[in-house]
Structure 1
């Protein structure tokens, strides 16, 4: 994204703040108009001649670029470990931690360490967590019981 004085083209295809089309305008004139309106002149593509530019509220261009970068990043997978004999307060803490992670756009993997015959307890614990987190995310994998642990991955809900 190229802003204001960094646009080197002699003339640009200009679009106004409210989407009005100004046509092909000399870059110096477009910059003067941007300064007068206290907005930024943003070049949207360098692939055509003259390059299309638009007048954007000051600071909004950077916000849009940051949002686009955030969307491009693959969601991270965060692991939360639990035990089958978890206390109610600790359960609530882990649930809130998972909600925060899911709202930030990352996935959560719950892992419950199992000893002996705790498999059914672990499965019940993970099912109740999935029910409580239904508003924030949905399970990607089923509950997987294997040897010494039970695990389930929860992905964030996409808007």
Structure 2
């Protein structure tokens, strides 16, 4: 919700000009006169402080800023997307490096990563070792959400972006 022009009730406002320059504390009337003179709107950016900070912005720019802020808010509210990376306990060094780079890229773009190692027979400890190594190598770009879970045919861990 934008508070603009005559809707601003404060007697004095902390004014910011069109190019972001600080114009100091001026009366509401003076600020409105400046806005009319430059054919722009006086927009209040926060009602929480006294005097309220206001700026001279063209209406389209103000609406664009508000909608961008709403978009950001909606983006933050969405749950994390989790991407699954599958491995086997007998992974070659080159393949390991590739999977590691893939994980770092996914974490950098804000996705959670589920690392899943397929286990057959008595490979449980080896799979756990591999996941611990991966977690150590990913420490710079992510942190584990849960411990390593070993269940029947797989060992898994979820890594969240930092």
Q: TM-score, normalised by structure 1?
A: 0.69
Q: Aligned partners of 1:31 and 1:98: how far apart in 2?
A: 54
Is the CA contact 1:84–1:121 (under 8 Å) kept in the aligned structure 2? yes
Structure 2: tracts of 5 or more residues without a match: none
Residue aligning to 2:26: 22
Question: What is the RMSD of the two structures over their aligned residues, measured on CA atoms?
Answer: 3.6
CA distance in 1, matches of 2:42, 2:101: 43
Asked if structure 2 preserves the Cα contact closer than 8 Å seen for 1:79 and 1:109, the reply is yes
- Equivalent-residue separation in structure 2 for 1:90 and 1:33 (angstroms): 61
Q: Which residue of structure 1 lines up, in the alignment, with residue 137 of structure 2? A: 132
Match of 1:10 among 6, 10, 19: 6
C-alpha change, 1:24 and 1:139, in structure 2 (3 Å) is same
> Aligned partners of 1:122 and 1:94: how far apart in 2?
15
What does residue range 49-64 of structure 1 map to in structure 2 within 5 Å? 53-55=54-56, 61=65
- Provide the TM-score with structure 2 as the length reference: 0.68
Aligned residue for 2:28, secondary structure, equals strand
Q: Distance in 2 between matches of 1:99 and 1:64?
A: 28
SS at match of 1:123: helix
Long gaps (5+) in structure 1: none
Aligned 8 A contact 2:4 2:43 in 1: no
Larger radius of gyration: 2
